[in-house]
Amino acid sequence: MMSIKSTFILIFLGISAYAQQPDMSLRYDEPAKLWVEALPVGNGRLGAMVYGDPDHETIQLNENTLWAGQPYRNDNPQAKEALPQVRQLIFDGKYAEAQDLVNQKFFSGKSGMPYQTLGKLHLDFKNVGSVTGYSRTLDLETAVATTSWSRDGADYKMEVFSSFPDQVIVIQLSASKAGALNFSASLSRQEGATSFVDAENILHLEGTGSDHEGIEGAIKFEAQVKAKTTGGSLLQSEKKLEVSQADSATLYISMATNFKSYNDIGGDANAKAMAFLESAAQKSYTYLKEAHLKDYQNYFNRVQFKLGEAKPNSATTDERVAHFKDGNDLALVPLYFQFGRYLLISSSRPGGQPANLQGIWANDLKPVWDSKYTININTEMNYWPSESTNLSELHEPLIQMIRELSETGQETAREMYGASGWVAHHNTDIWRITGPVDAAFWGMWPMGGAWLSQHLFDKYEYTGDTQFLDSVYPILEGSARFLQDFLVEEPEHGWLVIAPSISPENAPYSDHPESVTAGATMDNQLVFDVFTKTLRASKILNKKSDLLDEIEASLQRLPPMQIGKWGQLQEWMYDWDNPKDNHRHVSHLYGLYPSNQISPYRTPQLFEAAKTSLVARGDESTGWSMGWKVNLWARLLDGNHAYKLIQDQLTPSIQPDGKQKGGTYSNLFDAHPPFQIDGNFGCTAGIAEMLMQSHDGAIHILPALPDAWKTGSITGLKARGGFEVNLEWEANKAKTLEITSALGGVCRVRSYQPLQGEGLIESKKAAETGFFQTPNPKEPLITNPTASTPDLITVFEYELQTEPGETYILTPKN
């Protein structure tokens, strides 16, 4: 080990060894016909899908506070009275009756408001002659979508980006020949909006969000488009701006709504849109683009990833996806990984809304599943890459949503269950509803708040920010408080369980078709995590309360994880698992990922049981399910299987017969189907997890490297404890490891090869320290196990005393 000062030259050499990333562009040789072929740009709030059509261009627009309805609640207070009876029915094994009663008494008929499209900008080009030399790209290094073509002796170019610093979408159109640019611009929406051009030549679209489930639409929205041209003329005709014989044109698109917060829609959409437009329109295209690049690249450039054998590939991105599974196009892996980071930077910015089911991009008035927040996996998955791929600030909108749910969820806890603390069920929307939705089979899951609350402590583990931890401690404690009140003793073992609940959206067997149950494994794992994290946070922050003593006692009474009759990790409290079940949710494996209750080194029998369950579940599934499985196979330390899942996910969703399956659209959007952004984020997180893990008592380098990824490098990954890691490998073995410590303290490193470096000592695995503490679940209960412990590759474990701001270099021991 050497300090940064004494090793300047070495580090310099080290960095030069991290060769340039492969080409970071998505490319196509024809315009998009479908929405899932168009290219997304976004600044967290304003989204656009660019089709790149040189005749009739469409730019579909989103503003992420445009939702149907208005502030409302969806609690059914009748639940409180029915709760004891529902529990009794469950404990008596009368699941059908229990589920019926839940359906009658727990639901409000309001299942959430849809996120809505704002509309479309149409650019109708008036040139004659056929198009040649067409290309369409999305450059992830600049976050600019570019369309180029030639026609009638002129070369045309259109660039589109969504600027965070200036809060507008900017389009630059240019022609190589003077006066060759002729087009009209107009705005439209399926319904609920009108468009006009005002006296200042600004094109407007204004309207109101839809009514839904008896809730009147009250979001007012406004889009304003201003054009500035060089050369030629700009005129208006009816609802259009007409640009004639210009050399170039810049279009500034501003959008806003009256939304201020989940309980306040007193804003002024028109004034807000106008203020952004006026300020941006004073700036030149070059100036706006520079500001955009500086802002965007501050996030994007933190991580560089290269697979060494990856050769430049000139094929279009859709062809690359089509051939990925049987080809050798390793460069598509970094591109897809970085596309996930691109999507998070473009859909989740501090001060705004978290990324919803489609991020911020939705084409309809009523998108599938309302494009809302499904918090029994999908929303959490959106944020899995946020810390590990060095985008910590972008986690903030989710944290803010959790803060808001902890406010609305108090009333739900009190009114529906007579409990203190706060609760959320399996969905929420921009109005932060916390009651159950849809019906019992899917919705009777009072654990959405418990899962989301994990993000509070996880963020602290990466950043070590105690001020942040202090600010969110009441939310975490509020979640623990609800769970403590809601736990009930089940009669058979005297365990404390969550009831009624479900193992998300799954039921055991066709002759046991009800999902409603007690003590599902994932619930037990979530309670364990909320309680242990609350206790750890209370120690760090020096908090005391009666609740802390109570949850400490409850921890001893939770059900253990159980290994069932075919050696599987049981999904339910009883040994009901069907070995032929290939359901997309793998909820009981939450303990393996994203949680760290199951470990090859600490709980080898559970590790083996989790593997047995995952093998039985199979690989191919919905998009997000495959994204989850990439992470799970990485945690099972099986890089080849994780890569197989990436190959399954990077397969065209749309089949020759037009049917769709779980996979990837040609614009690299993940397909459930339909498009859901969670799968993109899940797979990006999974790739990071294959290269480095930090949840299990150490930074484990290259824990699940596939054989095919022989040579490569990645810089800027984040590990728990405030460490930043650069890694280079060759012939499937680590070559250099650079660790930069932000917080100082002990860094523990795990590797399949022996390592060397100044100050590096072999780990005694003595008392667990700081960020490398791991949970200590109860011993599993085992019924007739067919598998016991895994065959593991030997690992070498080291410790390094680090200082804040210093970088340490480790290399393989000869």
Does residue 626 bind ligand FUC (CB under 6 A)?
no
Least CB distance from residue 346 to ligand FUC, whole Å?
Answer: 21
Of 212 and 672, the one with the shorter C-beta distance to ligand FUC is 672
Determine whether 123 is exposed, middle or buried from the number of CB atoms within 10 Å of its CB (0-12, 13-18, 19+). Answer: buried
Mask for 705-734, x = binds ligand FUC (CB under 6 A):
------------------------------
Least CB distance from residue 42 to ligand FUC, whole Å?
Answer: 20
Of 212 and 372, the one with the shorter C-beta distance to ligand FUC is 372
CA 807 and chain centroid, separation: 30
Of 397 and 674, the one with the shorter C-beta distance to ligand FUC is 674
Give the footprint of ligand FUC on residues 281-300 (CB under 6 A). none
Least CB distance from residue 497 to ligand FUC, whole Å?
Answer: 23
CB 172 within 8 A of CB 250: yes
Least CB distance from residue 743 to ligand FUC, whole Å?
Answer: 37
- Beta bridge partners of residue 84, listed in sequence order: none
Of 357 and 737, the one with the shorter C-beta distance to ligand FUC is 357
Does residue 533 bind ligand FUC (CB under 6 A)?
no
CB 54 within 8 A of CB 149: yes
Least CB distance from residue 369 to ligand FUC, whole Å?
Answer: 4
Of 251 and 357, the one with the shorter C-beta distance to ligand FUC is 357
Q: Which of 374, 479, 501, 694 binds ligand FUC (CB under 6 A)?
A: 374
Q: How would you classify the pairing of strands 56-63 and 119-125? A: antiparallel
Does residue 369 bind ligand FUC (CB under 6 A)?
yes
CA distance 138 to 156: 17
CB 68 within 8 A of CB 114: yes
Mask for 169-198, x = binds ligand FUC (CB under 6 A):
------------------------------
User: CA nearest 529: which of 558, 496, 568?
Assistant: 558
Of 58 and 649, the one with the shorter C-beta distance to ligand FUC is 649
Q: Which of 220, 292, 641, 672 binds ligand FUC (CB under 6 A)?
A: 672
CB 72 within 8 A of CB 431: yes
- How many residues form the binding site for ligand FUC (CB under 6 A)? 11
CB 27 within 8 A of CB 316: yes
Q: Which of 414, 584, 644, 748 binds ligand FUC (CB under 6 A)?
A: 584
Of 679 and 703, the one with the shorter C-beta distance to ligand FUC is 679
CA distance 336 to 643: 13
Angle 510-512-516 from CA coordinates, rounded to 5°: 125
Least CB distance from residue 85 to ligand FUC, whole Å?
Answer: 27
Of 134 and 675, the one with the shorter C-beta distance to ligand FUC is 675
Least CB distance from residue 505 to ligand FUC, whole Å?
Answer: 5
Of 35 and 528, the one with the shorter C-beta distance to ligand FUC is 35
Least CB distance from residue 683 to ligand FUC, whole Å?
Answer: 15
- Beta bridge partners of residue 169, listed in sequence order: 162, 253
User: CA nearest 336: which of 666, 30, 635?
Assistant: 666
Tokens of 105: 């008494």
182 by DSSP, 3-state: which?
A: strand
Q: Which of 622, 651, 693, 736 binds ligand FUC (CB under 6 A)?
A: 622
Least CB distance from residue 676 to ligand FUC, whole Å?
Answer: 6
Of 60 and 374, the one with the shorter C-beta distance to ligand FUC is 374
User: CA nearest 646: which of 388, 309, 324, 308?
Assistant: 324
CB 168 within 8 A of CB 121: no
Of 107 and 531, the one with the shorter C-beta distance to ligand FUC is 107
Specify whether the backbone of 576 is left (phi greater than 0), alpha (psi in -120 to 50) or beta: alpha
* HSE value, Cβ hemisphere, 13 Å, CA-based, for 238: 4
Q: Which of 222, 319, 485, 505 binds ligand FUC (CB under 6 A)?
A: 505
In 707-760, where do the E strands start and end? 712-719, 723-730, 733-741, 745-751, 755-756
Tokens of 481: 């408080």
Tokens of 639: 């890089």
Least CB distance from residue 371 to ligand FUC, whole Å?
Answer: 9
- Helix extents (H) in 265-377: 269-281, 285-300, 317-324, 332-347
Least CB distance from residue 499 to ligand FUC, whole Å?
Answer: 21
Determine whether 438 is exposed, middle or buried from the number of CB atoms within 10 Å of its CB (0-12, 13-18, 19+). Answer: middle
Least CB distance from residue 426 to ligand FUC, whole Å?
Answer: 7
Least CB distance from residue 677 to ligand FUC, whole Å?
Answer: 11
Does residue 357 bind ligand FUC (CB under 6 A)?
yes
Of 508 and 600, the one with the shorter C-beta distance to ligand FUC is 508
Give the footprint of ligand FUC on residues 376-395 (CB under 6 A). 378
What is the arrangement of strands in the sheet containing 745-751, beginning at the earlier edge strand? 692-693, 699-701, 745-751, 796-802, 761-762
Does residue 802 bind ligand FUC (CB under 6 A)?
no
Residue 329 carries which side chain, given as an amino acid letter?
D
In 126-167, where do the E strands start and end? 131-139, 144-151, 154-163
Of 589 and 734, the one with the shorter C-beta distance to ligand FUC is 589
Least CB distance from residue 32 to ligand FUC, whole Å?
Answer: 24
Of 113 and 335, the one with the shorter C-beta distance to ligand FUC is 113
Residues that bind ligand FUC (CB under 6 A): 357, 369, 374, 378, 505, 584-585, 622, 624, 672, 676
